[in-house]
Chain A
Amino acid sequence: MTLEGTVWKFGDNIDTDVIIPAPYLVSTDSAELGKHCMEGVDPSFSEKVSAGDIIVAGKNFGCGSSREHAPMAIKGAGISCVVAESFARIFFRNAFNMGLAIFEAPGVSDGISAGDRISINQDTGEIIDHTNGKTFSANTIPPFMQGLIEAGGLMAYVLKKRRG
């Protein structure tokens, strides 16, 4: 499956407090959280973003708190996936557990610009920037985690295993 969308760019160390500021953590609703996505760095982000858009960021994306509201807000804002140089580990596992597609791909921070049209082949990990013609390769995902994605997230995986 291929994801294609327009790029929103962010820098290094984008933390969960700017992805979804703490005052909004009184909700568990993805759509509501999405209205405040990235408010800490770009207050009008949720108004500008369109369904299917892609976030491209630098290193250590999602550092800070364990709040799953962060990947929920990104999903709720309509973002199809996040591509970054690297991810902080709790954000990384949360994204797999709750079903937000994320890709770790060296070189994307310098090689892809805001507004570019990019596509990601989820099977091969090939990332193509259709605006500047550059290509990138996402790091492979361990088979266990691939299994999580295929099951539809951790809860679906656990319940399926439980049923045998």
Chain B
Amino acid sequence: MPKTITEKILAAHTGRESVVPGELVSVRIDMALANDITAPIAIELFEKAQIPAVFDSERIALVPDHFVPNKDIRSATQVALMRRFAKKYGIKYFFELGEMGIEHVLLPEQGLVLPGDVVIGADSHTCTYGALGAFSTGVGSTDIAAAMITGEVWFRVPESIKFTYHGQLQEWVTGKDLILWTIGDIGVDGATYKAMEFQGPAIETLPMSDRMTMANMAIEAGAKSGIIAPDQVTLDYVSSRATRPFETYLSDPDANYDQEKTYDVSQIEPQVAFPHLPENTRPVSEAGIIPIDQAVIGSCTNGRIEDLRMAARVLKGHTIDKTVRLIVIPATPSIYRQAMNEGLFEVFLDARGIVSPPTCGPCLGGFMGVLGPGERAVSTTNRNFVGRMGHPTSEVYLANPAVAAASAVLGRIGGPEEL
């Protein structure tokens, strides 16, 4: 029977010939991830169970990235718990400050998540690694605690939805715009419990950074996972990084899909998701006059070097509007160093922006740019829920790095072509 890539990966990790959508299966995992918000609950549950060892100390990644550098005493305490646990159980991939980056940018960069893997993370944006051709999904802390014992996780095998993208991208249109467009089309629960499989000629032209941005936001349509079949672009990215052998899988041409959607990307312009749901998308040219107080460029969605280069290309020779605060956050230490070496920091600082060390910080209203009452931000992050970046009356507009940078200069939401 023909199978999707998702069904093949899951079958390979159950030791069975095949699995079918709707089945509940126990699946072997290649990597389990938790951060400084979700790991503490998992650690407390694990230690309460009095298990002497984790299933595999090289298959667990602990990344303190949300409230780090520690924003207060309580977050310092949570990271200290992770540090102590990592030492006690010999967890190989605990990332101390200086090596720490935003988890979903860091793990692929370090070659810790690979094509054909099953990855779980106690963070909803764990779906990012689908861009490498892995089955990867967000779970809770209890799932991580159990997986640290057994090396397995239970799943309902998801149906897949096939999204095909044709045509040539317009200038300044990125993976962020394609995924915002898609969420705008199907809604925030349009893919609940399903695997979103992205494919087509336009996807094949995208670099890994854009592919990761797309898979990253599959959760914003309610999906269990997002996935892109590995190709030469994928192999070029992983071959020099991989920390272990991996296998690649492809969907059979006549595999079964729950639904199929086709888009002509040449008709898509940069998108902006208005408050308070990622599905409230509009083309940037139809945004109207929306003055902003802050622009954030970073996050697991858009904090990669390609994103920073795009923002710098827009900002070069400009100064941001006096009413705006610009915060740029390279997602990992190596991206930070590369951006510095390429002279991007000069551009950001000349424009009157600031450059933060890697952190999730403002994306979830943690620190490093929390919004006050009534304030508005344009942000390259992934969520614009009520109060997401701060006060319940604040507003978040989601966009790509070029739109965020242009908006910072304009003092209102707008595209780079307006500069």
Contact = CB atoms under 8 A, between A and B. Distances in A.
Contact of B40 (A22, A28, A89, A94): A28
B140 to A, nearest CB: 4
A86 B191 CA distance: 13
Contacts of A65: 123-124, 364, 383
Interface stretch (A1-9, A12-20, A125-133): A12-20
Contacts of A22: 37, 364-366, 388
Interface string A40-51: 110000000000
Given A17-B388, A23-B365, A26-B78, A67 B138 contact: no
A154 B156 CA distance: 15
Interface string A118-162: 000000000000000000000000101100000001110011001
Contacts of A89: 192-193, 222, 224
A91 to B, nearest CB: 9
B74 A26 contact: yes
A60 B222 contact: yes
A64 B192 contact: no
Contacts of B122: 66, 68
Nearest to B363: A22
A37 B55 CA distance: 35
Interface residues of B, number: 50
Interface string A70-93: 001000000000000010111001
Interface stretch (B41-49, B228-236, B262-270, B334-342): B41-49
A98 to B, nearest CB: 5
Contacts of B138: 66, 90
A145 B154 CA distance: 10
Query: Taking each of A22, A66, A153, which has the highest tally of chain B beta carbons within 10 Å of its own beta carbon?
Result: A66
A69 B126 CA distance: 18
Contacts of B139: 66, 90, 93-94
A28 B44 contact: yes
A144 B189 contact: no
Contact of A86 (B48, B192, B219): B192
Contacts of A72: 41
A105 B188 CA distance: 20
Query: Taking each of B45, B150, B189, which has the highest tally of chain A beta carbons within 10 Å of its own beta carbon?
Result: B189
A129 B385 CA distance: 31
A13 B189 CA distance: 8
15 contacts: A15-B385, A17-B386, A18-B387, A22-B365, A60-B188, A65-B123, A66-B122, A86-B192, A88-B222, A89-B192, A93-B139, A93-B140, A97-B143, A155-B142, A162-B150
B271 to A, nearest CB: 19
A25 interface: yes
B41 A28 contact: yes
B364 A26 contact: no
A96 B148 CA distance: 18
A40 B365 CA distance: 12
B67 interface: yes
Contacts of B41: 28, 68-69, 72
Contacts of A102: none
B277 interface: yes
Interface string B131-166: 000000011111101100110001010000000000
B325 to A, nearest CB: 20
A29 B124 CA distance: 21
Interface string B91-114: 000000000000000000000000
A159 B142 CA distance: 13
Given A65-B364, A68-B41, A154 B222 contact: no
A158 B126 CA distance: 23
Contact of B386 (A41, A90, A98, A158): A41
B387 A40 contact: yes
B72 interface: yes
Given A66-B123, A97-B143, A159-B49, A27 B192 contact: no
A17 B385 contact: yes
B129 to A, nearest CB: 15
Q: Which 4 A-B pairs have the closest CB atoms?
A: A26-B74, A94-B140, A97-B142, A60-B189
A154 B192 contact: no
A66 B124 CA distance: 5
Given A26-B78, A68-B141, 14 more contacts: A17-B364, A17-B386, A17-B387, A18-B385, A25-B37, A60-B222, A65-B383, A66-B140, A68-B140, A69-B41, A89-B193, A94-B140, A98-B142, A158-B149
B207 interface: no
